[in-house]
Every structure is written in C-alpha cells, then in structure tokens.
Structure 1
Amino acid sequence: MPEQRRRGIYLLPNLLTTAGLFSGFFAIVSSMNGRFEAAAVAIFVAMIFDGLDGRVARMTNTQSAFGAEYDSMADMVSFGVAPALVAYNWGLTDLGKIGWLAAFIYVSGAALRLARFNTQIGIADSRYFQGLASPAAAALVAGLVWVGVEYQIDGSTVGIVVALLTGVAGLLMVSNFKYNSFKELNLHGKVPFVALLIIMLIFVVVATEPALVLFISFALYALAGPINTFRSVDKVRLEDVVGDSPEEDADFVREDIKAKTKESTKEEEPK
C-alpha cells in the first residue's frame, strides 16, 4: 500500500513571510497614528524578511506552491498597499483627488508587477527584472517619507513631490525597463580581503544617515533601469518602455515548451 503523503505547510519560510506581512500591516497602522518614521522603517524590515523567506526555502528545500502564493499576497500588502497608504497619510491628503489617485497608481502598479512576475517565473532572464521590483519601489517611497520625517519636513508642503514620486514608482513597476537582479552574484565563493573592508564601510555609511543613504541608493537604482535600457538599444521603441511585447514572448516560450513536450511524448510512445 503506497504511503499517504502528509498534508501541511512548511513552517520556517512561511513564518518569515508572515513576519514580513506583519511588518507591512504595522506600517499601515503606524501611519494612521501619525508615526511615519516607524511606518517607513517597518517597510524596510519587511524587505529583509522578504529577502530571507525565499532563500531559506531554497536552502532547506522547503519550496511549495502555497509558499509562493502566500509570498505574493504578503508582498502586495507590504510593498503595494502599505507604501501607498504611508505616502498618502504623510503628504497626499491635502491634494484631494490627485493625492489618492497617485496612491492608487502605485497600488495598481504593484499588483500588475507581481502578477506579471508570477507568470514569468522560469522563463524570464534571471539576471534582470522587467520593471522596478516592488520591494525597491516600496523602499523608494518609504525612503522619501523617512527622509522627510528625519529632516522635520511637513509632508503637506511637499505634496506634489510625494505624488510625483509615488506615481512614477508605480509606473516604473509596470514598465519594460531592465533592472539588474544581482542574482548572478556568487555569495559562496572566495573574495579578496578588501571586499570585507568595503562592506564594513558601506555599513558605516548607512549607519551615519540611514534614511538619506537608503533613499539615495534606491533612487539611483530606480534611475538605472531606464539608463540600462536606453543604452542597450539602438533605437528606443514603445515596447522598450511599456507594452505587452515581453508577455507575448513569454506566451511563445510556453507554447514552444508545450510543443516540445508533445513531440517528446510521441517519440516515447511504443510503435
């Protein structure tokens, strides 16, 4: 009698995902209570948990379809809804319709970005992200709020700037700009001793002015996508900026895989 497979979920990676979800929810509640610095920091904490859950799952061989779907739902809260509401509560309320429309552009961009990412798993070039990743976009918006609070800037006085950056971050997520994923970095190999010193210096720089340094870093990363894309093409087309061309390529890859699978199945059938 075949052994019955036990039903359940893996605890450790899903526990980390839950911690990231809690951080995103905490950011929303904190912004509603006027604690914008805590809200911004909570979004960065959610980024840490988001980076850990997938790596822990791969290291412990505990990947699952449930974990992947749960991670997407948690990312939508932590990097989609939370940054938009934090930005809205801090600097967009006085703008009326423009304020909540800018926040909605960000939320819808995050939802579309995550949906597109899920449909391209296994077929997209792992070296690059198509569009700004939602954690990076969340860091850009949260970093602006954190900088504003750190330098005692009233969000309502820079509402237009907050609206522009929030809306642009949402649009960058659904763009076709290529962003380095840094997944090709070999963290298991040996590096020169000076690399450790450079890492220490980076920690020191971030610790001196964490809000400003993190915001500038993610702002530069957001600009790197358009720059990399425009440098890699001879003539800029609409498909290089936005459009469904990459999705059509993905559909072609899927159909090609299905066709090859059918051919191999036919070859294996007894004649």
Structure 2
Amino acid sequence: MDPGPAWLGPKASEDEVPVTRRFGGGLALRAVVPNAITAAALCSGLTGIRFAIVGDWKMALFAILLAGLLDGIDGRIARLLKAQSRFGAELDSLADSLSFGMAPALVLFLWSLQGLPRLGWFAALAFAICTALRLARFNARIDVEEQPHKMAGFLTGVPAPVGAGLAFLPMYLWIATENEVFRTPWAVAIWTAVIAFLLISNIATLSWKSLRPRSSWRLAMVGFGGLLFAALLTDPWWTLVVICVGYLLFMPLGIARYARVRRQRDGRTEPGETPHVQADA
C-alpha cells in the first residue's frame, strides 16, 4: 500500500517523531548537505575496513567512531535546514547497516574472530545481521503510532551506533593494556554475540530525551562533558572503556524507569512515587 506523500528525514536517533511534509517533486538543494554528511559517514565506516585489512587497528576504530559522530549530526542538520526527505531516511539506514553492522563485523573478524574460522565467522555474521534486522524493524515501525517505548521517550534495544561502539570494547582494552587476553577469539565471539542480541532485543533503553537532569545538575553536566572530551583527547582508549561500562551499567536504570512509566500508565502508581514526566518522542 502506498503510504502517501510522507517525507522523512535522516534520523539522529530512534526516539524522534518523523516530520511529514505534503509536497514533493525532487530533492531540494539544501537536502544535499545532510545527505552528504550521511554519505561521509558511510565512507568513513567502510574505510575502517580498509585500515583493518592492513592491520591499522587504531585507525580502523577511529574511522568507525567518526562514522558514528557523523551519523549523530546529519539528522539534526536536516531539521535545521528543513531538508528532511524520504531519500535521506533510506540513505541513512543503508549507511548505518554498512558502517555499524558490516564494518564492525569484518574488523572484529580480521582482528580476532578469524582465530575461530567457523564459529568466529558466525559471530561476525550474527552481529551484521542483527544490525540489519534492527534497522529494518525501525523502518517498518516508522509510521506506526502505537510504540510504547518511543511514546515514553525510550528506545527499543541498543541503537546501531552504540552497538558498534560496545562491540569494540575488547579492542579498546587490548589497545589500552596491550594484553593479548582481550584478543582471545572465544571471548570476543561471545561478547559479539551478546551485543548482537542486545541490538534486536525488546529491552527499553535510555535515550537522550529520557534523560532530564535537574536544573541544579546542568552546569555540572556541562563541565563533565568538557572533561570527557578532554579525556578522549588525552587517553581515548580508557575513556572509551569507561563510556562503554557506564552505558552498560545504566541499562538496568532504563528498564526500571520504563517499568515505572508502565505502572503509571496502567494506573498503578505506587503511593509516594514521583510522577514521571514523559519525554517528547
């Protein structure tokens, strides 16, 4: 069934509401800018494979992480320029599948998983396929209004760029410590499979819109953001380890907060429990 003249822009995150426009007629010139950024993210992710082939693991990681950064700004620039388009949305999903699915899978295989020629390859395939399935699920639901997680300001499962970053945790530790134990094929295969599962899981995870710090914390968070950026410049690998561990530790918080939202929606808010203000989704 033809969905009609709905034009959706490149997404910066999966908790956004698609912006619809009632006119079409081609790709506007201003739409070139966000789509060019998306194409740059795609090229950056695939270039990570090239660095992995020659054994330059640090540059391989940097290229894919840069792709994640570019993926986070293309949608925001599209909205700023009012340049959302169906073309941009499709290009964004394709770029995500290649940059955060196929590229990390091949990098991990070349780095460690090829030590298990069969099982290692299946672990890499599982990660790439789960990334594609996650993106396909998002695209299939993009016009569905009834999405409990999204309506409450949460995500379903781990986002593709975050999943790629988490999958590289053994590599961060290996580079930071120079300890070959983190390159053990069995351990890397199990870890890759766990992250692949989180990508397609139905677990409620926190999004930027679900994080609403109190006013008294905002200046502290600005300072923390500056320190985090400085840490990435001075000691990037240990900083990335801390970010990954912090994200994993916050996952139970997301599950608990969403459970509280569900109780409130069902009219079963516990006495004395602070009402949860839903984020715009």
The bucket for the TM-score relative to the shorter chain is: 0.7 to 0.9
The residue aligned with 1:179 is: 205
Residues 154 and 206 in structure 2, CA contact (< 8 A), matched pair in contact too:
yes
Tell me what 1:65 maps to: 86
The 2-side partners of 1:182 and 1:150 are apart by 29
| 1:165 CA drift (Å) | 1.2
Deviation at 1:178, TM superposition (A): 0.8
In structure 1, list runs of 5 or more residues that go unmatched: 235-271
Give the stretch that moved more between structures: 177-186 or 75-84: 177-186
Partner of 2:37: 16
Tell me if structure 2 keeps the 8 A contact 1:40–1:143: no
Aligned pair 1:201/2:201, yes or no? no
Shift of 1:213: 1.7
- For the pair shown, the structure with the greater C-alpha radius of gyration is 1
Identical amino acids, percent of aligned pairs? 34
**Aligned partner letter, 2:246:** L
Greater per-residue helix proportion: 1
2:56 matched to which residue of 1?
A: 35
Give me the whole-angstrom Cα distance separating, in 1, the residues matched to 2:253 and 2:175: 30
CA contact (8 A) 1:141 1:166 kept: yes
- Mapping of 1:156-235 within 5 angstroms? 157-184=183-210, 193-226=219-252, 228-229=254-255, 233=259
Classify 1:106/1:5 alpha carbon distance in 2 versus 1 (closer, same or farther; 3 Å): closer
In the other structure, the counterpart of 2:95 is 74
Q: Deviations over 1:97-138 (max 9, x none)?
A: 110011111011101111111122253315111011110010
Is residue 85 of structure 2 the alignment partner of residue 50 of structure 1? no
- Structure 1 residues 11-50: Cα deviation after superposition (integer angstroms, max 9, x where no partner): 1000100110011110111111111111111111001100
Find the counterpart in structure 1 of residue 170 from structure 2: 144
How many Å separate the matches in 1 of 2:233 and 2:194?
Answer: 28
Deviation at 1:159, TM superposition (A): 1.3
Q: How many residues align?
A: 230
Q: Any unmatched runs of 5+ in structure 2?
A: 1-22, 261-281
Match of 2:160 in 1: 134
Match of 2:123 in 1: 102
Q: Deviations over 1:64-123 (max 9, x none)?
A: 000000000000010000111111100111112110011111011101111111122253
CA RMSD of superposed structures (Å): 2.8
